[in-house]
Structure 1
C-alpha cells in the first residue's frame, strides 16, 4: 500500500540482481532504469513501485513487505531470494501472533534490509 519506496544500496548491480530474482515469483519486473545514481524502478501489480539507486553510504536496514496472492508465492519468493544470495530471516509459515492467516517469509538482502513476502488469505 505505497506509491513507491526508494532507497540507496551499496552495490547497485548486486542489489538489482537480488531483487529482480527474489521478487520474480511475486510478479515484480524491472521498469524504468537510468544511471545507477538514478536507479531502477521495480514494478508489480498496481501503481506501486520499489526504486533502488547507488548510494555512497550504506543505509540503515529497512523492513519492506510485499503482498503475495497465495502461500505458494510466499514459498517461491523465499526459495528465489535464497538462491539470489539472500540470508534466511524466517522460513515460510504462519505468524498467528499477527493474525490467524498471516503467512510470511523473511530474508535479509545484500544491504541488510529485511525483505518479507506476506499472504493474508487462508490456505486455498
Structure 2
C-alpha cells in the first residue's frame, strides 16, 4: 500500500497547470484523467495527483518559504534522468530554480534540480542511489 493515497493542489489556471504537469507526470508513468472541475493522474490505480481550480481566482501564486507547500521531490533512476526531467519541465513552461547539480550537504550521492510553475508550485527531480556496500 502506498504511503500517500493522493495529493491535491489548487491552481489559478487549471488548463495552464495541466499543460505544465502533464508531460512530467506522464513521463513518470502516470495516466491522466480529466473530470469536471479537476484533472488527475494516477499510477497503477494507486497514488493519485490532482489539480483543482482555486476557489478564489487570482489568489496565487504561492510563495516558496511561506506557510504551506514547500516542494515535492520525484525520485528518478539516474543523473541523466534528473537532467532529462529538468529539460522536460522547462519545455513545458516551468522556471528553473536550481539547475541539476550535486548536493553533498544531503549525501555525497545526491543529485537534483528544482523547478517552479506559474502557481509557485515547486518540484524537485532527484537521484540518490544507495551507498555501495563496504
Listed as ranges, the matches of 1:42-121 within 5 Å are 42-44=41-43, 47-55=46-54, 56=56, 57-58=59-60, 60-61=62-63, 62=69, 63-121=71-129
Deviations 1:65-108 (A, max 9, x none): 11212222211110011011111011112111111211111101
> What is the 5 A alignment of 1:26-45?
26-30=28-32, 32-36=33-37, 39-44=38-43
Q: Which runs of 5+ in 1 are unaligned?
A: none
1:40 Cα deviation (Å)? 1.6
Alpha-carbon distance in 1 for matches of 2:72, 2:60: 17
In the alignment, which of 3, 6, 19 is matched to residue 4 of structure 1? Answer: 6
User: In structure 1, how many angstroms separate the alpha carbons of the residues matched to 2:43 and 2:108?
Assistant: 26
Is the 1:24–1:77 Cα contact (8 Å) retained in structure 2? no
Mapped partners of 1:44, 1:72: distance in 2: 22
Cα pair 1:25 1:80 within 8 Å, conserved: no
Q: Which has the larger radius of gyration?
A: 2
Q: Is residue 19 from structure 1 mapped to residue 25 from structure 2 by the alignment?
A: no
RMSD, aligned CA: 2.0
Q: Any unmatched runs of 5+ in structure 2?
A: 64-68
SS across alignment from 1:99: coil
Aligned residues: 119
